[in-house]
Structures are given as C-alpha cells and as structure tokens.
Structure 1
Amino acid sequence: MSDYHKFRPLLTAELADVCDQWLAAQPLKAEFEQRLWQRLRLEWNYNSNHIEGNTLTYGETLLLLIHGRTRGEHLLREYEEMRGHDVAIEYLRSLAKEERMIGEGDIRDLNRIVLKEGFWRIAETVDGNPTRRWIEPGEYKTAPNHVITATGELFHFATSEETPAKMAEFCHWLTEQIEQPQQELMQLLAEIHHRFIAIHPFDDGNGRVVRLLLNYVLLRLELLPLIIQTSRRRSYLDAIAMADSGDLQPLAQFLEQSLLWSMQLGVRAAGELVELEELQR
C-alpha cells in the first residue's frame, strides 16, 4: 500500500486536489499510461541533463531515446549521459516499488548509472589553480569539492573524510521521514535536496542524483515525478541559494510548482494521449 495517506493531510489544498484526481483515475488505459511515461521520461532526461550543461535539444533527446537515432554535433559523452540517465530512471522506478527503503548502495548505483564511465575533468584547487581530476562513477569523492557562488565566494561542501558518515546519516534520516512523516511533503523534498547537496558526495552527477532521489519519494507515494524545467534554472539556483542560507520555503514552493505541472499532465493523460513534443519547443 502506498504511503500517500500519511502525507495527504500535510499537502496544500491545490496539490492535494490534483493528486487525488490522479489517484482516482487509476488505472489508466495502457496506451495512455505508456505515452504519459514516454513524455515524462523525455522531460526528465532532457531537463535534468540540460540543467547540468548537456547540449542536446529536446528534439534530439526524443530522437535518441524513442527512435535510437542521433542528430547534431555533440560530444559522445553527452549522448551517453542521456542514455545513462534514462536507464537510471527505470532503475529508480524499480527501487520505488520495493518494500525496502533506498540505501547508500542504491544511491551510489544511481550515480554510477548516470555517469556510466569514468573520465578526466578540468577542475581547480581551492587556491584557484587549474588541475585535472579523475571522476569515478559510483564512488564517493576523495578530494574537497566546492562551488563559486554568485558573489564570487567559495561555498564548501562536506569533506571527503566526512562524506561516508554523513551519507549513512542521510539515508537513516530519509527512511525515518518517509515512514513517519513529520512535515509537509514539499518541505520534506526541499530538505532532502538541501541535505544531499550540502554533502555533495560525488565528484560529479550530484544534481542529477538528488533530483532522482526527490522523485524516488514521489514514486513511492504513487505520484508522478516532478520535472525541473531548464527554462527555470535561474529560479531553481536562487531557491537553492536561499536554502543554503537557512530558508527552505522558496525551494519547497519551487518544487511544488514543478510537481503540479507533472500531476496536471497526468490527470490530462487519464483521458487522452498526451503529446510527446510541445509545438513551442
């Protein structure tokens, strides 16, 4: 049985209404459900990778994942990233159906699937000197990582020495939060995002993995995955920055709007074949 009933009293009225409509519409006609998931997969793969710098267009993503063909001049790694992320989505869907909760090994597997194979990446030291770092999929970081904020300041994540213990703590906390909800669903998703990104356990792929984790929770509740549109990347990053400063509410509100889009698409898909590509793309 889904844990949705545990979270239902904690949802906002608008979100509760559309989620109730979605669940009441189950089961969908097979062809409608298949088309819905094709659209969600395309949106999820395209947007999550594009946010991180992948240059495939939505149309090229559709061509690659639905028809198995390529078009355009892109790095081979970009095609492989898109395929790998698509496999990660299917793996995540299978994890969400299991009775056991997701664990550290599963999260490392998600990173391994998303990145697919190791590679060298240009980086810089804390002192700002150029360097080169080997990225090993599925392995926790072995060196410090950081990001330069909009103000030019360095924002440091958990150290490599702290990471294993912090990830064990994160997984234990996540299990407790899902089994015994203590806060509104979107607030929980915002906190999951914030806690994971603050650790930044991997040398690459952290953003894609945390968005997979958010959707793991939603899929366990038999809801649909939220899609963070690349067109809203600036608002997304601003909300993350607010969370880093201690205010999770903007991120929770941002994630709710992203989920509403998916749920409304799902409700529409209960009565018709949804389009795979919007005309304005």
Structure 2
Amino acid sequence: MRYLTLEKALNAWNTLQPISEEDKTRLARRFSVDFNYNSNHIEGNTLTYGQTEILLLFGKVIGEANVRSVQEMVASEVSLKMMVAESRVKETPLTQNFIRGLHHTLLREDYSVHRELPGGMQVGYVVHAGQYKTRPNSVITRYGERFDYASPEETPAMMTDLVDWYNNAEKEGNLSPVDLAALFHYRYIRIHPFEDGNGRIARLLVNYILAKHDIPMVVVRSRKKEEYLEALHAADLAVGAAPSSGANASIKAIAPFLKYFRSMVAQEIDADVRFLTKHGENIWWYDGECIEFRSPNYSKILELMQSEPVLSLADIQRKLNIQISAVKKLVQHLLDKHYIEKGKDEGSWHVFIVQSI
C-alpha cells in the first residue's frame, strides 16, 4: 500500500482538489462498475465483472446470464444513484424512510423464498421489499456457530435509535466521518433489519456517509470478502453476542473492524489517487487493481481491440509484426485474467480493463 495511514491517503487526495469534470466522470464510471459488481458478488450474484461493465455502461447482456442476477445488478445501480443524490443534500438528516426506500429500490418487489432444511423439511417465507423483517434472522458463522440478529419485535426501536444516534453524532462531530461510517456499518449489521439485502444496504449507507462528507466512496472487494467477514467476526467477539450490545457498540469495542475499515478506506483512496496521477501506456486498471504490463505488446493489443471492430489473431500478428505463437500467448493471458472476452461475432472483442491516461 502506497500510503501507510488513512491520514496520508486523505492528504494526498485533498492535494488533487479540485479535480476536473473529466476526471470526476472517469472516477464515477469506474466506481459504478466496481461497486455494483463487488457488492453483489459478495452476496452470490453470478454476473462476471465484464458482464457487469457491459450491462451498466451500455445496457447490454453478453454471454449466458442469470435473469435474476441481471435484474439485481440493474436495481443496484439505481440504488447507488439514489444514494448519491441523497448524499448531496447535506443539510438533510438520515431517515428510516430513506433507508426503507433504498431497500425497496434495491429489491424491487416482494418475493418468496423456499428452502430445504437438514432432514428434508421444507420452509418458505416472503421477503418484503422496503419493510423491516417479520421473522427472525441469523447466520451460521464460518466457525459453525449460530449468530442471531435483532428480533423482528426489537428492530423498529433499534433502527429508530440507530438513525437518531447517527444524526446526533454527525452534528456533534466527535467521530471522524470514516469512524462514524465504520460504527454505523457495524451497528446496522448487528440489527440486520431486513430479511434480505442487509449487506448491500450497509455498503450503500457507508458510502452515503463518506460522500456526504466529501470523502471518496469505497468498494469492499469481493476478492477480499474473507478479510471483511473476519474483521466483523472479531468485533462480534469483542462486543458480545446480544443484539442489543451490537446495536449500541462503542467505537472502542469494534476496534478489530475499525482497524480493517480504516485500512480499506485508505487503500481505496490511494487507488483513486493513483488512477488520476499514475499514467503510462502500459498502465491499466481492472477491478480496483493497477496492472502494469511488462511487455508493451499487451497495451498495443488492447488498443487494437478497442479501435478495430473486427480483429483476428492474424491481424494482430501482422500489425505488431511478431510471431503468431506470441500473439496467441499474449491474448490467452488477457482472456485468462478476464481483462477481455471474445465477442459474439468472429473477431470481435470486449475489453474490460481501463487504461490510465
């Protein structure tokens, strides 16, 4: 990591201000794909990063795609836009109506869930969009333990307390926006107010808090899911199992999660800074990672794929004047890393990796 502390990362970001409208657009476009892909992929959405990019930026579905996953991703993008718009009205306090409305937008409509329990027993229930849960929810941790969230009866009062606490804490200013977002996330997750979508709503609300205070929004990366869940689990052990303890946890009590959260925010801000400042024809970005190709032929191939509607391997070989075996090896590497995919038509390509220029 380039900046060892959150403070240094924020200072580096602030020195870039104000950034151009073009750079704002580049960051927003990158964030839209990264956030929606990762937040939904953590919860089991089956769209690839490439499918997500084409869907959100061009409104098209490529390859085989689960209909539900496509609908979830589109609804996630609408929810993201809704959250960003709300964060810009800085004098407006956070409300439960907004949280429930965000949830309704994310889930779209009520739907039924049917599951088979160990032993063959069938159970079914309805997930209510925009309404707090009507049945208890819990999770089996990675260590095999059952962990209960707030009961349906407790949830309305706990959510009232959570929103009131947040609005008061924001006014008082005793917690930094990053620490406030971390503590809000933890308390919210311990309530788990909805029957589904709690993790996705938590990550949207974290970014609502950051954006409201002019701090770059962040992505909890799916490839780092275990680190994220382990930090929450470590905080649970420190806070205690009672839902009321979690819903009223102090910033000191959630130290393991806070340490993770600050580091994650610093890394994400650092990536934004490098995205805007680290340039070169061999420097590209994919899902929050800076890819610096050692061979300039990778960049030449990617640029050709972006500019040519039809491009065969023989075309690449001829334009770059290198052996066809080398072309095949380079293209296969790009395919294996999912930086590119073959298009529907012969010789067409989808390029998902973004050049930092």
TM-score range, shorter chain: 0.7 to 0.9
Shift of 1:91: 0.9
Q: Does 1:169 align with 2:175?
A: no
CA gap 1:116/1:74 in 2 versus in 1, 3 angstroms: same
8 Å CA contact retained: 2:107, 2:129: yes
Match of 1:78 in 2: 69
Structure 1 unaligned segments of length 5 or more: list them. Answer: 1-11
One-letter code of the match for 1:221?
A: H
Looking at structure 1, the residues matched to 201 and 119 of structure 2 have their Cα atoms a distance apart, in angstroms, of 28
Shift of 1:172: 0.4
Looking at structure 2, the residues matched to 263 and 128 of structure 1 have their Cα atoms a distance apart, in angstroms, of 48
Partner secondary structure for residue 5 of structure 2: helix
One-letter code of the match for 2:155?
A: T
Match of 1:36 in 2: 27
Alignment TM-score, normalising by the size of structure 2 = 0.70
Q: Does 1:50 align with 2:41?
A: yes
8 Å CA contact retained: 2:177, 2:213: no
CA gap 1:272/1:66 in 2 versus in 1, 3 angstroms: farther
Looking at structure 1, the residues matched to 223 and 8 of structure 2 have their Cα atoms a distance apart, in angstroms, of 26
Q: Does 1:137 align with 2:108?
A: no
Match of 2:244 in 1: none
CA gap 1:125/1:167 in 2 versus in 1, 3 angstroms: farther
Out of 186, 189, 192, the position equivalent to 1:200 is: 192
8 Å CA contact retained: 1:124, 1:131: yes
Between the two proteins, what is the percent identity of the paired residues? 33
Match of 1:65 in 2: 56
Out of 206, 210, 235, the position equivalent to 1:214 is: 206
Match of 2:286 in 1: 277
Q: Does 1:18 align with 2:24?
A: no
Match of 1:240 in 2: 232
- Which structure has more relative contact order (CA 8 Å, sep 6+)? It is 1
Q: Does 1:263 align with 2:250?
A: no
CA gap 1:250/1:141 in 2 versus in 1, 3 angstroms: same
Looking at structure 2, the residues matched to 49 and 94 of structure 1 have their Cα atoms a distance apart, in angstroms, of 21
Deviations 1:77-124 (A, max 9, x none): 111111111111111111111111111000011111111222212347
One-letter code of the match for 1:23?
A: N
Match of 2:311 in 1: none
Looking at structure 1, the residues matched to 140 and 168 of structure 2 have their Cα atoms a distance apart, in angstroms, of 33
One-letter code of the match for 1:152?
A: G
Deviations 1:2-51 (A, max 9, x none): xxxxxxxxxx9821222123233222222221011111111100000000
One-letter code of the match for 2:77?
A: D
Shift of 1:223: 1.0
8 Å CA contact retained: 1:194, 1:244: no
8 Å CA contact retained: 2:6, 2:263: no
Out of 189, 197, 209, the position equivalent to 2:181 is: 189
Looking at structure 2, the residues matched to 13 and 134 of structure 1 have their Cα atoms a distance apart, in angstroms, of 46
One-letter code of the match for 1:95?
A: E
One-letter code of the match for 1:277?
A: Y
Shift of 1:225: 1.1
Say how many residue pairs are matched. Answer: 270
Computing the radius of gyration over CA atoms, which structure comes out larger, 1 or 2? 2
Shift of 1:73: 2.4
Out of 206, 219, 225, the position equivalent to 1:227 is: 219
CA gap 1:253/1:206 in 2 versus in 1, 3 angstroms: same
One-letter code of the match for 2:110?
A: G
Shift of 1:256: 1.9
One-letter code of the match for 2:109?
A: E
Alignment TM-score, normalising by the size of structure 1 = 0.88
Deviates more, 1:244-253 or 1:162-171: 244-253
Looking at structure 2, the residues matched to 124 and 140 of structure 1 have their Cα atoms a distance apart, in angstroms, of 24
Looking at structure 1, the residues matched to 271 and 14 of structure 2 have their Cα atoms a distance apart, in angstroms, of 13
Structure 2 unaligned segments of length 5 or more: list them. Answer: 240-252, 292-336, 339-357
Looking at structure 1, the residues matched to 187 and 118 of structure 2 have their Cα atoms a distance apart, in angstroms, of 22
Shift of 1:266: 2.5
Shift of 1:127: 11
One-letter code of the match for 1:28?
A: I
Runs of 4+ with >6 A deviation = 124-128
Looking at structure 1, the residues matched to 133 and 31 of structure 2 have their Cα atoms a distance apart, in angstroms, of 31
CA gap 1:89/1:275 in 2 versus in 1, 3 angstroms: farther
Partner secondary structure for residue 182 of structure 1: coil
